[in-house]
Structure 1
Amino acid sequence: MSENPDTQFWFNSRTGEVEKGPQSLAQYRVGPFATEAEAARAPEVIKERAAKWAAEEAAED
């Protein structure tokens, strides 16, 4: 992945849009991602990870 934040992609959780470079406030940005397609998939990745963590916690109880 590129180290330059201006060439990376971010998902804006407030607007639901992908941004090239850090354009919005950090609290609304998810990323960075190497490609626009990866950033666009951010909401799905977040849901998948949350479900996985919830299942792991439930298994520990």
Structure 2
Amino acid sequence: MSDNNPVQYWYNTATGEVEESAARSSWTHRMGPYPTREAAEKALDTAQQRNESWDEEDADWRAKE
């Protein structure tokens, strides 16, 4: 693809496969876009880490009330 249309990657939660821009499945099974295949492969780990971080931030915020 050209620089004007960079390849994007999506993680399919139904199949566990990484998909490129042109071969996207239904949005109900997609996470992304990600700039690299490697980032898309780690989509579930990234989401889990973010959720844990947000949970910790929520707990800290609630403790200050």
Cα distance per residue 1:7-61 (max 9 Å; x no partner) = 2110011111101115111121111111111100111100000000100111111
Deviation, 1:3, is 6.2
Give the Cα separation in 1 of the matches to 2:54 and 2:48.
10
List gaps (5 residues or longer) in structure 2.
Answer: none
Decide which structure has the larger Cα Rg and report it: 2
* SS of 2:14 mapped into structure 1: coil
What TM-score do the two structures reach when normalised by structure 1? 0.83
The SS at the match of 1:57 is helix
Residues 3 and 48 (structure 1), Cα distance of their counterparts in 2 relative to 1, 3 Å cut: farther
Mind listing any 5+ residue stretches in structure 1 that lack a counterpart?
A: none
RMSD: 1.8
Runs of 4+ in 1 over 2 A off after TM superposition: 2-5
Mapped pair 1:20 → 2:16: no
- Name the count of aligned residue pairs: 59
Give the TM-score, by structure 2 length: 0.78
Aligned-residue sequence identity (percent) comes to 36
